[in-house]
């Protein structure tokens, strides 16, 4: 058959775009060759509704092995007792937890979206906010850190059935123990969505929520550097039936509820090629080199945050503990929106995204901030010295974002700088 040049030309153009640019989107990464190979394999041809050993289709013996390995490696990576590797995405992993733990209309508590929370933690346009009763906690205006006292006040007053920790634009460590105590006090389920820092957690550089939360979800494609997808895990808690009855009134293990919430609750057939790629990525994350990589991600983020702060940028919370940096542009450039900043940076081949900052005076379409992250650029081999250069390049663009000449000069520098850096880690 004739090759589909239309699409393969687009893929090649995207390859070139990724190669020549500086990738600073905090939720992105570059997977290894073998993760890519597993994703592009014949496993995509296989239907396998159900779980290993209990499928609704014949011929699943081989993919059963890959899925079982993915589960075992994931459990080893995070010290979990139970795992489901089938969610097609992070949002679907979260949806399955909601299905398993709540009834429509039930209250739950998550981080305010404009303070760093994720869509699936209660946005009014997402299933979480449409079908359930979303309550929110905030970050503190002064410190930019989660305001645990306000969280406790809302939880004690409203008594939500589920409390969610984790965020999409938050640079600091979490006090999971305090959140678990709060959940126990009000009889709520405590879930952590560690999608962003999962790789740093796997490497032991941040506290592991599997030790504290009843349920932990994550995407597999951010700091964890696997294929796009989601997973759900539990630590010790699942060993016991959920109290006397589950929130749905049935005595069942939470693991059974979660398995059936993923399939047949919110999904049909699992993507076995992606599950195989998840297994490969978990295998990579279990190697000692992965810790070295994550250490560099963290160091690079700290250096970039400090360099920008030294240039007068306001870094929300004053710095970062992880891979993510949230820049409030208002201090240095009161007139510059995140939207204009993002566009100018992208024209200079520096990819980042506009982002709301806590207590933002602008809409989510304009925003007053940009979010930066170091997982992808670190996979390409960046060290601290490149972070200093990147801070300079960002500043040069943002000081003069309307000038095509200025942007073209930075773009030439970006392209020349990235030339020697390979795209894949392995």
Q: Check residue 354 for interaction with ligand PLP (CB under 6 A).
A: no
206 marked ligand binding residue:
no
Q: 46, 147, 176, 219: which is the annotated catalytic residue? A: 219
**C-beta nearest to ligand PLP: residue:** 90
Q: Is 228 a catalytic residue?
A: yes
117 marked ligand binding residue:
yes
Q: Check residue 27 for interaction with ligand PLP (CB under 6 A).
A: yes
Stretch of residues binding ligand PLP (CB under 6 A), selected from 17-25, 85-93, 201-209, 372-380: 85-93
Q: Check residue 322 for interaction with ligand PLP (CB under 6 A).
A: no
**What string of H, E and C letters represents the secondary structure of 288-318?**
HHHHHHHHHHHHHHHHHHHHHHHCCCEEHHH
Residue 81 and residue 235 in contact, taking contact as beta carbons nearer than 8 Å: yes
Q: Check residue 86 for interaction with ligand PLP (CB under 6 A).
A: no
Residue 172 and residue 325 in contact, taking contact as beta carbons nearer than 8 Å: no
Q: Is 64 a catalytic residue?
A: no
Stretch of residues binding ligand PLP (CB under 6 A), selected from 3-11, 190-198, 253-261, 330-338: 190-198
Q: Give the sheet arrangement for strand 369-373, strand by strand.
A: 314-315, 324-328, 369-373, 353-355
70-222-195-150 Cα dihedral, nearest 10 degrees: 170
- In terms of Cβ atoms closer than 10 Å to its own Cβ (0-12, 13-18, 19+), residue 24 is buried
Count of residues interacting with ligand PLP (CB under 6 A) = 14
Of residues 276 and 391, the one with the C-beta less far from ligand PLP: 276
Q: Which residue is it, tokens 């359930």?
A: 132
For the CB of residue 287, give the shortest distance to ligand PLP in the complex, in Å.
Answer: 24
Q: 19, 20, 47, 384: which is the annotated catalytic residue? A: 47
x/- contact string, 141-180, with ligand PLP (CB under 6 A)?
-------------------------xxx------------
What does each C-alpha distance from 213 to 22, 23, 160, 250, 360 come to in angstroms? 36, 32, 16, 22, 30
Residue 24 and residue 372 in contact, taking contact as beta carbons nearer than 8 Å: yes
123 marked ligand binding residue:
no
Q: Which residues contact 171 (CB under 8 A, 6 or more apart)?
A: 301, 305, 315, 316, 317, 319, 320, 321, 322, 324, 325, 326
Distance of CA 184 to the CA centre of its chain: 26
- In terms of Cβ atoms closer than 10 Å to its own Cβ (0-12, 13-18, 19+), residue 137 is buried
Q: Is 219 a catalytic residue?
A: yes
Stretch of residues binding ligand PLP (CB under 6 A), selected from 83-91, 99-107, 197-205, 310-318: 83-91
Of residues 220 and 300, the one with the C-beta less far from ligand PLP: 220
Of residues 102 and 111, the one with the C-beta less far from ligand PLP: 111
The DSSP bridge pattern shows strands 54-55 and 50-51 to be antiparallel
Q: Is 223 a catalytic residue?
A: no
- Binding residues vs ligand PLP (CB under 6 A): 27, 89-91, 118, 120, 166-168, 193, 195-196, 219, 230
Tell me the catalytic residues.
47, 49, 193, 219, 222, 228
Q: Known binding site for (6S)-5,6,7,8-tetrahydrofolate: residues?
A: 113, 117-119, 363-365
């Amino acid at each position: 058959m004739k090759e589909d040049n239309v699409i393969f030309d687009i893929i090649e153009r995207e390859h070139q775009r990724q190669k020549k640019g500086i990738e600073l989107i905090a939720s992105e990464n570059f997977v290894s060759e073998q993760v890519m190979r597993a994703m592009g394999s014949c496993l995509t041809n296989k239907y396998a509704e159900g779980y290993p050993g209990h499928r609704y289709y014949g011929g699943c013996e081989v993919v059963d092995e890959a899925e079982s390995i993915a589960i075992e490696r994931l459990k080893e990576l995070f010290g979990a007792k139970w795992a489901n590797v089938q969610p097609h995405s992070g949002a679907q992993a979260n949806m399955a937890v909601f299905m398993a733990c709540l009834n429509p209309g039930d209250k739950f508590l998550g981080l305010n979206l404009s303070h760093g929370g994720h869509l699936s933690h209660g946005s009014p346009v997402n299933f979480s906010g449409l079908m359930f009763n979303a309550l929110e906690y905030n970050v503190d205006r002064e410190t930019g850190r989660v305001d645990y006292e306000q969280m406790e006040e809302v939880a004690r007053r409203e008594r939500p059935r589920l409390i969610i920790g984790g965020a999409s634009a938050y640079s600091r460590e979490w006090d999971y123990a305090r959140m678990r105590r709060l959940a126990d006090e009000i009889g709520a389920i405590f879930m952590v969505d560690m999608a962003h820092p999962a790789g740093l957690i796997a490497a032991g550089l941040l506290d592991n929520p599997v030790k504290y939360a009843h349920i932990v979800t994550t995407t597999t494609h951010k700091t964890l550097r696997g294929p796009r997808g989601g997973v759900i895990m539990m630590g010790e808690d699942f060993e016991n039936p959920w109290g006397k009855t589950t929130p749905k009134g049935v005595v069942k293990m939470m693991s059974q509820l979660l398995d059936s919430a993923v399939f047949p609750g919110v999904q049909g057939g699992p993507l076995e090629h992606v599950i195989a790629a998840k297994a490969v990525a978990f295998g990579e994350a279990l190697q000692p080199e992965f810790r070295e990589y994550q250490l560099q991600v963290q160091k690079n983020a700290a250096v970039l945050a400090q360099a920008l702060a030294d240039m007068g940028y306001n870094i929300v919370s004053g710095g970062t503990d992880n891979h993510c940096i949230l820049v409030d542009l208002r201090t240095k450039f009161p007139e510059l929106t995140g939207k204009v900043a993002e566009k100018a940076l992208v024209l200079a081949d520096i990819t980042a995204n506009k982002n709301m900052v806590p207590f933002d005076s602008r809409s989510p379409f304009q925003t007053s901030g940009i979010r930066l992250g170091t997982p992808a650029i670190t996979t390409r081999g960046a060290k601290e010295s490149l972070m200093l250069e990147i801070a300079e390049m960002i500043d040069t663009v943002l000081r003069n974002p309307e000038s095509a000449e200025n942007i073209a000069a930075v773009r030439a520098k970006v392209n020349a700088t990235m030339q020697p850096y390979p795209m894949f880690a392995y």
